[in-house]
Amino acid sequence: MDEIILGDVAVARVKEFRGSVEMSPDEFFPDSPAGSWDEHRGWLAPDFWDPETGECQSAVQSWLLRSEGRVILVDTGVGNHKDRPYAPVWNRLDTSYLDHLAAAGISPEDVDVVINTHLHIDHVGWNTRLEGRTWVPTFPNATYLMPLRDFEFWDPANENETVLGRGNQNVFEDSVAPVRRAGQVELWDGTYRIDRNLRLDLAPGHTPGSSVLTLDSGGDRALFVGDLVHTPLQIVEPETNSCFCEDPAEARATRRALLGRAAEDNALLLPAHFPGSGAAEVERDGAKFAIKKWAGFSRIS
């Protein structure tokens, strides 16, 4: 199994998807500085950008943690057989995600805690699986930790206007509400201590309830930052948002604060969607940041 040890915590990644998201840098990151993708082509291509097709590359994956005798899954991808009419790249997938989880030595029944860093389409999909015609929790013994602010924001009953428009259609109904009905959801706000090694904190901007998971164990530190960093270009150009950020100003401020923490605490940065080695060490570079070292895992294809 491809894993790293950080203090008393074992960290592995479970792949669902790796490839094009069928968006150009100008579409995905419309406020990225002119010429910045070509300027950094040497390390953006081919893992994060394919200059030949002009499309961004991404991974959809979960982080699998073993801490204090419990199995913790961070984000659950897109899921199989989900009807996503306004997100064609994710529509009715049929992937080997559960096989990849099994290859890491974990069955769905083994998972104790599921963390959804936020409730976007590609972070909650495997919360549920289809049993006959009914969506049921994939991880029957797990507590699902969901940010209260995202739960309320994405609940269709609240009729909130979002930058995704219909892009998150059906997600709450098939991947969030069934787990809530099963009594497995714990909503949290502010800060949530999981154990002595792991803590969740709000990190809003991308969505109102976006969160970061901090690992601090035995002198090792890591930040699981969800979608606050979609591409490493946002490390060297931290003012760059994705087109999916609900509050652009707040997303920039949160990203800067988290990158500052990563640099000052020598914390490994683990975004949700990095292919390649999946993780990076960062350092300050004047008013911006730089990639000090790629770290983490074997490349995924």
pLDDT in tens, the chain (301 residues): 589 999 999 999 999 999 999 999 999 999 999 999 999 999 999 999 999 999 999 999 999 999 999 999 999 999 999 999 999 999 999 999 999 999 999 999 999 999 999 999 999 999 999 999 999 999 999 999 999 999 999 999 999 999 999 999 999 999 999 999 999 999 999 999 999 999 999 999 999 999 999 999 999 999 999 999 999 999 999 999 999 999 999 999 999 999 999 999 999 999 999 999 999 999 999 999 999 999 878 876 5
Three-class DSSP category at 6: strand
Residues 137/143, Cβ–Cβ less than 8 Å: no
Cα torsion through 161, 164, 167, 173, rounded to 10: -50
Residue 1 has what pLDDT? 54
Three-class DSSP category at 29: coil
Residue 77 has what pLDDT? 98
Annotated domain spans of the chain: 3-296
For residue 95 the two structure tokens come to 């992937």
Residues 240/29, Cβ–Cβ less than 8 Å: yes
Into which CATH architecture does domain 3-296 fall? 4-Layer Sandwich (3.60)
What is the number of alpha carbons within 13 Å of residue 157 lying toward its C-beta? 4
Least Cα distance to 245 among 146, 149, 120, 157 occurs for 120
Phi first, then psi: what are they for 50, rounded to 5°?
Answer: -105, 100
Residue 296 has what pLDDT? 79
Write down how long the chain is: 301
Three-class DSSP category at 38: helix
Three-class DSSP category at 36: helix
For residue 225 the two structure tokens come to 């930052």
The letter for the amino acid at 156 is P
Beta bridge partners of 278: 296
Beta strands in the chain (DSSP E): 3-6, 9-20, 49-50, 55-67, 70-74, 113-115, 128-131, 134-137, 143-147, 185-188, 191-193, 198-202, 211-217, 220-226, 268-271, 278-285, 288-296
Buried b (16+ CB within 10 A) or exposed e, 156-177: eeeeeeeebeebbbbbbebbbb
Q: Does the pTM of the predicted model rise above 0.85?
A: yes
Q: What is the pairing mode between strands 211-217 and 191-193?
A: unpaired
Residue 295 has what pLDDT? 87
Q: Which residues contact 244 (CB under 8 A, 6 or more apart)?
A: 120, 163, 164, 167, 206, 227
Residues 13/60, Cβ–Cβ less than 8 Å: no
Residue 286 has what pLDDT? 94
Residues 113/69, Cβ–Cβ less than 8 Å: no
Residue 298 has what pLDDT? 81
For residue 236 the two structure tokens come to 């060297």
Q: Tell me how far CA of residue 98 lies from CA of 24, 95, 125, 129, 173, in angstroms.
A: 30, 8, 12, 11, 22
Name the DSSP letter for residue 237.
S
Residue 300 has what pLDDT? 67
